[in-house]
Amino acid sequence: MLLKILVGFLCGATAVATENNTAHQGPVPLLLVSFDGFRADYLQRFPMPNLKLLYSQGVLVEQLTNVFITKTFPNHYSLVTGLYAESHGILASSMYDPVSHKHFTTSNDTDPMWWSEAQPLWLTALDSGYKTAAMMWPGSDVVNRTATHFLPYNSDVTFQQRLGNMTKWLLGNEKEQGVMFAALYWEEPDRSGHMFGPDNNTAMGKALKEVDDNIGLLMSELNRTGLWGRINVLITSDHGMAQCSADRLIRLDDCLHPDNYTQVDLTPVAALIPNKDPKAVFDLLNKCHPHMTAYVKKAIPDRLHYRNNERIQPIILIADEGWTIVHRKTDKLPRLGDHGYDNSLPSMHPFLAATGPSFRQGYRISSLQSVDIYPLMCHLLSVPAQPNNGTLTQARCMLAAETCWDVPLMVGLVVGVLLVLTTITFLFRFLSYRRPSGPRPFQRLQVDDDDDDPLLE
Ligand SMILES: [Zn+2]
């Protein structure tokens, strides 16, 4: 028994020592991977053996609260800046800038003007003297704002090809050092989610099997190149997906003629500039449909962090979950699945899985803000974080080198101990009260008044 305790103590001491050694060895490379449109509950609905194997050796964050609007470009920029959309300036997939009078679309996105309100991590890490890489991550092929290595967006490049480049860049060669921060983007399961809708189990099952196969490929490629276990890996996504329906269409033309406004974006968050009489335009839109909320810019709720930017238009309309905004009566449902809705909806939330030498093993947390991933990555890389909306408070619990108190568990333990102590005290008093009183064990020594020292008699 004593031997067992001693062995246990020595093992424990070794574990602590290893942990401290890891902490003092300096940062290891970090690979950030995004599978676009990976809704958090796909993890429960579909078998994902490779992804489950990955996070069983690390950490799973079951739901990430992402940023509004829950679209691809704003959220990918938030992941690498830690900022809400109003602070980093990438507010939607379609934008209009009233100062420069320029228009932004996802296929016309390389003008640095749009991206310069924030600095992505691949640039901050470059400033710290590291090599970096970004593979088709939104905003990574912008003129003068690229990582050391990058490839311009091309949907024909397969996951395997993207991964092959990434591992080469992570490894480096005789001439060039390996990269310390690498960001890799893949289009699925977003594409299938739009096409078939997230409720289509057959189609989504097939898409997620392919995503999981790609995660398997990633793990085996990192193993083959000797990178597995030597680098930190984060697998996450930008947003979830809601099921849409032809029965849930909101037709703007039913409420007012399109000549009354200029449309910058349409669904599920419309951005409109009234052409004349803003109040009359707003009033008509405000009572247009019970499943659509209209806001003038200054009344957009604080919690959405979507007000303080010139690129936010005077009127925005937010459709309820699964509703689609269209123009005419004849307009058909454009997509069976969509995202962009309120970021408090669980269907809009993605997940986060983390593994590598810096992370705890077999650990789970139920939720985290997606803006907290940026300070976590800066901490992992020992890179000074730019001003951001995130915090390390919760994310640091994912790290092996941190001691974290589980507050609800601690409160539960304290309450439990107090209850047990109170019960024992009560029982003790109760039993003492009921016990019949016997003869007193000692009696006072009786002495005569004139006896000076009775004990010496
Ligand atoms: Zn999408």
Nearest-angstrom CA–CA distance, 225 and 165: 12
Q: What is the mean pLDDT of residues 67-88?
A: 98
Q: What is the mean pLDDT of residues 146-161?
A: 96
Does residue 72 have an active-site annotation? yes
Distance (angstroms) between ligand 1 centre and the Cα of 238 equals 9
* The three-state (H, E, C) secondary structure of 69-100, written as one string: CCCHHHHHHHHHHCCCHHHHCCCCCCEEECCC
Distance (angstroms) between ligand 1 centre and the Cα of 75 equals 11
Which residue would you say has higher pLDDT here, 416 or 455? 416
Phi first, then psi: give them for residue 232, nearest 5 degrees.
Answer: -90, 140
> Which CATH number fits the domain 30-83+118-242+343-398, given the four candidates 1.10.3720.10, 3.40.50.2300, 3.30.70.60, 3.40.720.10?
3.40.720.10
Domain ranges of the chain: 30-83+118-242+343-398, 249-334
Window from 2-11, 37-46, 181-190, 217-226 with minimum mean pLDDT:
2-11
pLDDT at 23: 46
* 17 confidence band (pLDDT: 50, 70, 90): very low
User: What is the tens place of the pLDDT at every residue in 101-117?
Assistant: 999 999 999 999 999 99
Q: What is the mean pLDDT of residues 271-296?
A: 97
Nearest-angstrom CA–CA distance, 314 and 415: 52
pLDDT at 118: 98
pLDDT at 426: 86
Say yes or no to pLDDT of 457 above 90.
Answer: no
Distance (angstroms) between ligand 1 centre and the Cα of 423 equals 58
Q: What is the mean pLDDT of residues 294-317?
A: 98
Q: What is the mean pLDDT of residues 69-78?
A: 98
The DSSP annotation for 225-236 comes to TT-TTTSEEEEE
pLDDT at 445: 54
* Average pLDDT for the chain: 91
Distance (angstroms) between ligand 1 centre and the Cα of 93 equals 10
Fold (CATH) for 249-334 = Gyrase A; domain 2 (3.30.1360)
pLDDT at 37: 98
pTM, rounded to two decimals: 0.86
pLDDT at 430: 83
pLDDT at 13: 36
pLDDT at 443: 55
pLDDT at 405: 73
Which residue would you say has higher pLDDT here, 381 or 403? 381
Q: What is the mean pLDDT of residues 258-283?
A: 97
Strand partners of residue 162: none
Q: What is the mean pLDDT of residues 41-65?
A: 98
pLDDT at 16: 37
348 DSSP 8-state letter: G
Distance (angstroms) between ligand 1 centre and the Cα of 88 equals 20
* All residues at 6 or more sequence positions from 375 whose CB lies less than 8 Å from its CB, including other chains: 82, 385, 388, 390, 391, 392, 395
State the Cα angle at 220 between 214 and 221, rounded to 5°.
85
Catalytic residue among 22, 70, 72, 355: 72
State the Cα angle at 125 between 120 and 127, rounded to 5°.
100
Q: What is the mean pLDDT of residues 89-101?
A: 98
Nearest-angstrom CA–CA distance, 70 and 91: 10
The DSSP annotation for 373-428 comes to HHHHHHHHHT-PPPS-S--STTGGGGBTT-----HHHHHHHHHHHHHHHHHHHHHH
Q: What is the mean pLDDT of residues 84-92?
A: 98
Say yes or no to pLDDT of 42 above 50.
Answer: yes
Can the peptide bond before residue 74 be classed as cis, meaning omega within 30 degrees of 0?
Answer: no
* 448 confidence band (pLDDT: 50, 70, 90): low
* 47 confidence band (pLDDT: 50, 70, 90): very high
pLDDT at 404: 79
Give ion ligand 1 contacts, CB < 5 A: 190
User: What is the tens place of the pLDDT at every residue in 312-347?
Assistant: 999 999 999 999 999 998 889 999 999 999 999 999
Strands 324-326 and 232-236: unpaired
* Helix (H), strand (E) at residue 165: helix 159-171
Q: What is the mean pLDDT of residues 234-240?
A: 98
Q: What is the mean pLDDT of residues 378-407?
A: 93
Say yes or no to pLDDT of 380 above 90.
Answer: yes
Distance (angstroms) between ligand 1 centre and the Cα of 53 equals 27
Q: What is the mean pLDDT of residues 250-261?
A: 96
Phi first, then psi: give them for residue 242, nearest 5 degrees.
Answer: -115, 150
Rounded percentage of the chain residues whose pLDDT exceeds 70:
89
Can the peptide bond before residue 325 be classed as cis, meaning omega within 30 degrees of 0?
Answer: no
Strand partners of residue 96: 103
User: What is the tens place of the pLDDT at every residue in 197-215?
Assistant: 999 999 999 999 999 999 9
